[in-house]
Each structure stands twice: as structure tokens, then as C-alpha cells.
Amino acid sequence: MGGAVAQRPQGGKKQGLRRPKRRIAILIDMTPMVDIAFLLLIFYMVTTVFSMPQAMEVNLPPATEDQLKIKESNVLTVHIDEESNFYWNIGRELPVPMKTDSLRTLLVDQNKENAKLNTLIIIHKDARYKTMVDILDEIDLIERSFNAVTAEEMGVTPREFKDPSHDRYAEFRAKKFSYRYAMSPWEDRDSRIIDKVLSQQGGE
């Protein structure tokens, strides 16, 4: 910042033999300061991240033309209607309503009972998007928990268990738990199935 010194004019009369004090006025040029302020403002506006992008990692199977045939007894189907209500069934059984907070318990118990279990998630297009995210989070958490227990049983840390450079990685890979699931859009037949469930329960 630049400045200039200006001498104030002396006013009044001398009082006896006492000399009046000399006062100096300093004029500060604020123009450079304003320029710096605007430069800093522009810098922070350009470099600041107001909202971090949110992404979810999903491992997709390799593309293949072959269709895998799965027994109906090995398929766990979870329906989520437009009001984000949950229903589950095995094979061709009639779906049963369930509470949202019991989803993790259901998935864990069914995977423990059947090592060949595959989960089919059918979500209505009007259901809350957060519901789908919560389901994927639960699946990821279950997969991590199962592998953490397996790693502890094998005497290694979870980080070593998934390290491709580890000497025992082939052994780890053979015992690694990978949650098998698929997602499908809601169809008219799904609406008829849920309507049948509600009609048998008196519309509750």
C-alpha cells in the first residue's frame, strides 16, 4: 500500500511562549488492498469444493452371453414397493412383509444357511433412491464382515486377506466371500404379487 504525508495547516494563535504541536496527516491509498481482496476472493471461489462428489463402487461381472441357471430354492427375492416397504421370499413362496431395520439380519441368516444363495432385488421406480443405496451399503457391509471373520480364522488381517501380492492370496481367494446379487426393475406381475400379499393380510 502506498501512502503520502500531508502537513495540516496551522490554525489559531500562539499561546505565550509555547510552540504549537506539529500534526502530520497520513493519507493511505487503499486501491492495492482492494485489488488483493478481489484476487483472494476469486482464488477461493475457483479452488474451493463446496460439495464433494459422491460415488458408490459396484463390481460388475464380466460380460458374457452365457446365462447362468440357478435353482429357485437358491434365490432370495426382496421386493421394495413405491412406499419403500420391504417384502422377501425364497423361490416361488409368497412374499412376507418385513421391517427395514431387519434387512441385515435376514441377509446374514439366509447366506449362512445357504452358501449358494443369490439375492434378487426388485425396486419400484417410485421408491426412494436412498432405499437402494441403503441396500447396497448393507450388502457391502455383510461382505466385508464375512471376509473379516475368514481373515481372522486364517491368522491374517483383512488388508492382507485382499492383498493380491500376498503369498497366500490364492488360498485367500478360494475362501473369499462375494455377495451374489442382481437388481431388476419393478414389473406388473410384481404389483399383482404384492397386492395379493396385502389382500391376504386385510390390506395392512
Alpha carbon distance 190, 35 (integer Å): 64
The whole-number pLDDT of residue 14 equals 53
The whole-number pLDDT of residue 44 equals 85
The whole-number pLDDT of residue 56 equals 61
The whole-number pLDDT of residue 155 equals 92
Smallest CA-to-CA distance from 181 within 128, 146, 138 is with 138
Mean pLDDT value across residues 4-15: 53
Any alpha helices (H) in 48-128, and if so which ranges? 103-113
Architecture of domain 72-200: 2-Layer Sandwich (3.30)
Smallest CA-to-CA distance from 89 within 102, 72, 77 is with 77
The model's pTM is 0.66
54: which 3 cell numbers?
459422491
Alpha carbon of 105 to those of 58, 111, 141, 170: distances in Å?
Answer: 22, 10, 12, 30
For the segment 149-162, what is each residue's pLDDT rounded down to a tens digit? 999 999 999 999 98
User: What residues contact 12, with CB distance under 8 A and at least 6 apart?
Assistant: 20
Quick one: pLDDT band at residue 110, thresholds 50, 70, 90? Answer: very high
User: What residues contact 64, with CB distance under 8 A and at least 6 apart?
Assistant: none
Residue of higher predicted confidence among 92 and 202: 92
Domain ranges of the chain: 1-6+21-47, 72-200
For the segment 50-74, what is each residue's pLDDT rounded down to a tens digit? 666 666 666 666 666 566 778 889 9
